[in-house]
């Protein structure tokens, strides 16, 4: 029998060609023109030059990079600590771990609404801050940005926890017993037994979180709407605003291409480093 099982990828590939290649070509076409204006005009690379000279674009980019850095440095350690502390058997532990996973299954919009309720004037958060004599308001740029960070952490610690605790279970107990008998310290146990066991999950979760925080849109849209001013406008929000609300299609398309290339490059570099150049299909 000749092996023709590879033909089975075709349904997926056909769907993705319609969904991915085709739109990419459309954006590419837009990026060299001014699509929403009546006479069709080829503008060459003018749109790309505009984007790269745009102060707004670089601001959004820098803000998003800062956001990603902050979010990662909060979520990964806390998620790891949660995964290490919330394990074992028992009703309480079971409940706690279920509750920690829960946020990752809540729609982004609802997370946004949840936090808007928490932070609206007269909501619980401003109330709690006022106990300490701090005035809390989403109307100041810094507070809005930090609220966005905290909200994202609240939402996605669940994913870090889920992936890490799933891989912690796979480390055989025998290793820990052996380590105890050999008298290794807690740090040594963590460093030489736990760490290697969860390394791959850590890599996956890092990859997912970096990429996802670079494309965050929904909560940004709901919680702050990019405001006050433009102080919480992340890349995706910037794109949607330009393309769908301000109708500068060519500019938005060029920005999309740059953004897309950046994310895919980032993804490629991360995967290459993390898999040590072996690629994702390791046989």
**Minimum Å distance from CB 70 to another protein?**
18
Please spell the DSSP secondary structure of 45-89, one letter per residue. Answer: THHHHHHHH-HHHHHHHHHHHHHHHHHHHHHHHHHHHHHHHS-SS
- Beta carbons of 63 and 233 less than 8 angstroms apart: yes
166 binds another protein (CB under 8 A): yes
85 binds another protein (CB under 8 A): yes
Sites for another protein among residues 168-197 (CB under 8 A): 169-170
| Residues 62, 48: Cα–Cα separation, whole Å | 18
| Residues 177, 173: Cα–Cα separation, whole Å | 6
Size of the site for another protein (CB under 8 A): 101
**Minimum Å distance from CB 152 to another protein?**
14
79 binds another protein (CB under 8 A): no
| Residues 238, 3: Cα–Cα separation, whole Å | 48
Closest by alpha carbon to 263, among 218, 219, 215, 217? 215
Nearer to another protein among residue 18 and residue 192 (C-beta): 18
86 binds another protein (CB under 8 A): yes
CA-based angle 242:248:252, to the nearest 5?
55
Q: Per-residue x/- marks for another protein, 47-66, CB under 8 A?
A: --------------------
Q: What is the CA radius of gyration of the chain?
A: 23
Which residues fall within 8 angstroms of residue 60, CB to CB, at 6 or more apart? Answer: 230, 233, 234, 235, 237, 238
Q: Would you state the structure tokens that stand for residue 198, as one six-digit string?
A: 């969860």
Nearer to another protein among residue 49 and residue 109 (C-beta): 109
**Minimum Å distance from CB 31 to another protein?**
10
Could you say which of 61, 67, 82, 156 contacts another protein (CB under 8 A)?
A: 82
Sites for another protein among residues 221-280 (CB under 8 A): 221-222, 225, 235-237, 239-240, 243-244, 249, 252-253, 256-257, 259-260, 263-264, 267-268, 271, 274-275, 279-280
76 binds another protein (CB under 8 A): no
Could you say which of 49, 93, 178, 195 contacts another protein (CB under 8 A)?
A: 93
109 binds another protein (CB under 8 A): yes
Could you say which of 120, 177, 188, 191 contacts another protein (CB under 8 A)?
A: 120
Sites for another protein among residues 10-39 (CB under 8 A): 11-13, 15-16, 18-20, 22-24, 26-27, 30, 35
Task: Give 4: exposed, middle or buried? Use CB within 10 Å, 0-12, 13-18, 19+.
Answer: exposed
Could you say which of 115, 136, 145, 156 contacts another protein (CB under 8 A)?
A: 115
């Amino acid at each position: 029998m000749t092996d023709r099982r590879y033909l089975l990828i075709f349904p997926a590939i056909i769907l993705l060609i319609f969904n991915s290649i085709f739109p990419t070509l459309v954006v590419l076409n837009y990026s060299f023109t001014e699509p929403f204006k009546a006479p069709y005009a080829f503008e060459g690379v003018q749109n790309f030059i505009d984007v790269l000279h745009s102060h707004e674009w670089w601001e959004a980019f820098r803000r998003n990079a800062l956001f990603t850095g902050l979010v990662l440095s909060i979520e990964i350690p806390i998620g790891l600590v949660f995964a290490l502390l919330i394990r074992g058997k028992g009703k309480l532990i079971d409940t706690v771990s279920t509750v920690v996973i829960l946020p990752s299954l809540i729609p982004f919009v609802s997370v946004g609404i949840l936090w808007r309720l928490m932070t609206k004037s007269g909501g619980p958060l401003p109330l709690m801050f006022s106990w300490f004599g701090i005035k809390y308001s989403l109307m100041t740029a810094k507070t809005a940005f930090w609220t966005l960070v905290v909200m994202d952490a609240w939402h996605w610690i669940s994913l870090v926890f889920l992936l890490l605790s799933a891989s912690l279970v796979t480390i055989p107990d025998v290793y820990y017993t052996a380590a105890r008998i050999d008298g290794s310290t807690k740090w040594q146990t963590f460093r030489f037994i736990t760490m290697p066991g969860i390394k791959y999950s850590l890599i996956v979760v890092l990859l997912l979180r970096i990429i996802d925080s670079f494309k965050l849109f929904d909560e940004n849209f709901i919680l702050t709407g990019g405001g006050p001013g433009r102080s919480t406008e992340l890349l995706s929000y910037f794109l949607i605003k330009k393309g769908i609300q301000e109708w500068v299609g060519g500019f938005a398309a060029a920005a999309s291409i740059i953004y897309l290339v950046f994310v895919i490059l980032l993804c490629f570099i991360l995967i290459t480093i993390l898999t040590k150049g072996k690629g994702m299909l390791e046989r």
